[in-house]
Amino acid sequence: MKINNILISHPLTGSDSPYLKLSKNKNVKIDFRSFIEVKGASSSDIRKQKINFSDFTVVLFTSKNSVDHYFRLAKSMRFKVPISMKYVCQTETIAYYLQKYVVYRKRKIHIGKKSFKDILPYIKKNSKEKFLFPSSNIFNPEISNMLNTLNLFWKRAILYKTSSSDLSDLKHIIYYDILVFFSPACIKSLFENFPNFDQNNIKIATFGKKTLDAASKAGLKIAIKVPTPEFPSMSMALEKYIKEYR
């Protein structure tokens, strides 16, 4: 089956996106459509959670969204983030994104390699600190269990909420050759919008184990699984796949 049309389940980010280069080089039509919507919490929402940003000395970041909404709310609540504030980022990508808001200093930013488990040794070593965990309404209970076993002061703050987008405009979703998903929430959105979705010959690509698990649980057959040692990025895996079907 020749690959002609691909749907990426998140919005286009920047004119230098590798997907745009892939589309041009391989003459493939690639569309971008966010399957989820992110709505930021208000200052009053934070107060209802009894969260005071000034009570914490370390902020744990596990996504770019958590970075954006932490600093957005800090500004709206007139909390001047102190220079002494420390940050723990689950991945290097998140740490680099943090530079949008703070000056990068190694003494202030600890970076994990991939999973949340990677940053646990640092958290344990600094158990006397007070940790704030900005998150969405969707939260992995395993993280809570891991932090609770360390016997430290930490609180989760729901700074934004994710929900399924209205995809009623995607009436011709069955005509895409590949659907690309990056989170379990996107899989959930697919079936909420198309409860009778029949995969047929559509190829499914997933990024990350949680997304893969969610897609498999939903009964989808996965053709492209990323990341792998050979293909750390989705764009690389798609390029290889397109070559095989040309």
Query: Which of 95, 89, 92 has the alpha carbon at shortest distance from 60?
Result: 89
**What integer is the mean pLDDT of 25-37?**
94
Residue 26 structure tokens: 């391989």
What is the model's pLDDT at position 48? 96
Domain at 39-162, CATH class = alpha beta
114 confidence band (pLDDT: 50, 70, 90) = confident
Phi, psi of 111 (to 5 degrees): -120, 130
Residue 20 structure tokens: 């745009």
- Distance (Å) of CA 64 to CA 61, 70, 188, 213, 221: 8, 10, 21, 22, 29
**What integer is the mean pLDDT of 114-136?**
92
Rg (CA), the chain: 20
Cβ 162 vs Cβ 186: under 8 Å: no
- Distance (Å) of CA 26 to CA 3, 11, 235, 245: 10, 20, 12, 11
Beta strands in the chain (DSSP E): 5-8, 29-32, 36-40, 58-61, 86-89, 109-111, 130-136, 153-164, 178-181, 203-207, 222-226
106 confidence band (pLDDT: 50, 70, 90) = low
Residue pointed to by tokens 């344990």: 124
- Helices (H) then strands (E): counts for the chain: 9, 11
Reported as a single tens digit per residue, the pLDDT across 128-186 is 999 999 999 988 888 999 999 998 999 999 999 999 999 999 988 989 999 999 999 99
50 confidence band (pLDDT: 50, 70, 90) = very high
What is the model's pLDDT at position 246? 67
Q: What CA–CA distance (Å, rounded) separates 67 from 159? A: 10
